[in-house]
Amino acid sequence: MKVIVLAGGLGSRISEETNSKPKPMVSINDEPILSHIFRIYAIQGITEFVVALGYKGEVILDWLKNQASEKYNNKYLISLDFDSRNSQTKSIQISVEAVETGLDTQTGGRILKCMDLYPDQTMLATYGDGLANVSISKLLAFHDSTQKLCTVTAVRPAARFGFLEIQNGIVSHFGEKDQADSGWINGGFFVLKPNVRNYIENDYEPFETGALPRLVKENQLAAYQHFGFFKPMDTLREKNELEEMAKRSNPPWTDIK
């Protein structure tokens, strides 16, 4: 099974890092976040990736060329190191196919271009800027049980601001909002059956405002609720937090349960 990684956006909300490189190439502990995303899947036995290039795609291509032990067609063979539970360093070989999807193409169009390369296959897909310890086997089992065309992984983000409880105009409680009280949001980590392609109308349509609402209208979108670790990299603060986590022998996004 192949994983589409959406790696072509501008990353404007973390412009301190993305003036010279695309967001998936922002370094987390001396390694691009793209590599960490690969590792989430690879340690679970999913080793084939299709990277949708766009903004500064040549930076990703250069990195792939430098990392690859071998290249055939548009596919690069790369070895990923990781620390196993017994603290031994192991290596997994992955295959990465780079697909130029266009500078102005939106997420829907990028997914469509990648799915068109493998029109009869169910594919996985995720964003190039978020890390989570999603169990792919549980995600796929849930997806199969629903018999829907598409499954999105739903996550609860950590609250970013102080939470106020107010009674009669007076603050009765001030503190951090419990993550469990937050609503569910799109966390990526999709499962896409081949017919999902039919719900994407053109290259310039975001997947989130085009195909997904259409799937909902036809009762074809399932949500796998992930209660474990999830963290996007939307701000410099979040990037720095992920950097500290990545220094651990087993970062939280590799602790698959």
Task: Please write the tens of the pLDDT for every residue from 197-243.
Answer: 999 999 999 999 999 999 999 999 999 999 999 999 988 899 999 99
Residue 161 has pLDDT above 60, yes or no: no
| 39 contacts 82 by C-beta, under 8 angstroms | yes
pLDDT of residue 96: 97
**pLDDT tens per residue across span 59-92:** 999 999 999 989 988 899 999 987 765 556 788 9
| 212 contacts 154 by C-beta, under 8 angstroms | no
Q: Which fold is adopted by the domain 2-156+184-254? A: Spore Coat Polysaccharide Biosynthesis Protein SpsA; Chain A (3.90.550)
Distance from C-alpha of 229 to C-alpha of 156, rounded to nearest angstrom: 9
Listed range (8-17, 67-76, 150-159) with the worst mean pLDDT: 8-17
Locate the domains of the chain by residue range: 2-156+184-254
Q: Which of 215, 68, 61, 186 lies closest to 127, judged by CA?
A: 186
pLDDT of residue 157: 78
pLDDT of residue 43: 94
Distance from C-alpha of 131 to C-alpha of 30, rounded to nearest angstrom: 16
Q: Is the full-model pTM beyond 0.85?
A: yes
CB atoms under 10 Å from CB of 54, counted, come to 23
One-letter amino acid identity for 226? Answer: H
Listed range (95-99, 176-180, 253-257) with the worst mean pLDDT: 176-180
**pLDDT tens per residue across span 96-132:** 999 999 999 999 999 999 999 999 999 999 999 999 9
| Cα–Cα distances in angstroms (integers) from residue 182 to residues 109, 121, 179, 209, in the given order | 30, 35, 5, 22
CB atoms under 10 Å from CB of 74, counted, come to 15
Q: Which residue has the higher pLDDT, 243 or 164?
A: 243
